[in-house]
Amino acid sequence: MEDLRFQHRVRARAGGTRRSAIVGVVASGNLEVLVERILPDAECAVDIKTAAIGFGEVWTAVIGDFVERYSPGGLKFSINDGGARPDTVSLRLAQAVRLIAENGQ
């Protein structure tokens, strides 16, 4: 297992009022993303535990692209990864932002 951590300054706060949301499953080629609204509005953090060791550069690119695209301010993402491909990671992150952008608990 390898642990990675990314912290970004972001332009804007993520929409919605939900406190947390979860998408995905930890399985081969898949991952789960738990997202929580617990950070200051201009910050975003991504904590990753991955079964695939040595892909730090790919993660840096995928997370950088995601933060640039969605500006997920105030959100902390916690990922358990079962060796998902970069496109699957991007999809799950987008789903997590979409889900927490809903209103409610």
Partner 1 sequence: MTAPLKDITPAERARSTSFYEASARTRLELLLDAGSLIEFIGPEQREVSPHLKIFDLPEQFDDGIVVGRGRLDGSPVFAAAQEGRFMGGAFGEVHGAKLTGLLRAARQIGSIPVLILFDTGGVRLQEANAGELAIAEIMRAVMEARSAGVKVIGLIGGRSGCYGGGGLIAGCCSALAVSEPGRIAVSGPEVIETNRGVEEFDSRDRALVWRTMGGKHRRLLGAADVFADDNVQDFREAALELLGLVGPFGLDALKAEQERLADRLRRFGACSDAVDIWTTEGIAHAETVPELPADQFIALADRIGRTSRDAR
Residues that bind partner 1 (CB under 8 A): 1, 20, 22, 25-27, 30, 32, 34, 36, 49-51, 78, 80-82
Distance CA 9, CA 2 (A): 24
The single residue listed with the structure tokens 């898949």 is 30
Q: Which is nearer to partner 1, 17 or 65 (CB)?
A: 17
Least gap, CB of 16 to partner 1 (angstroms): 16
Q: Which is nearer to partner 1, 36 or 43 (CB)?
A: 36
**CA dist 93 to 46, 65, 66, 99, Å?**
10, 11, 8, 10
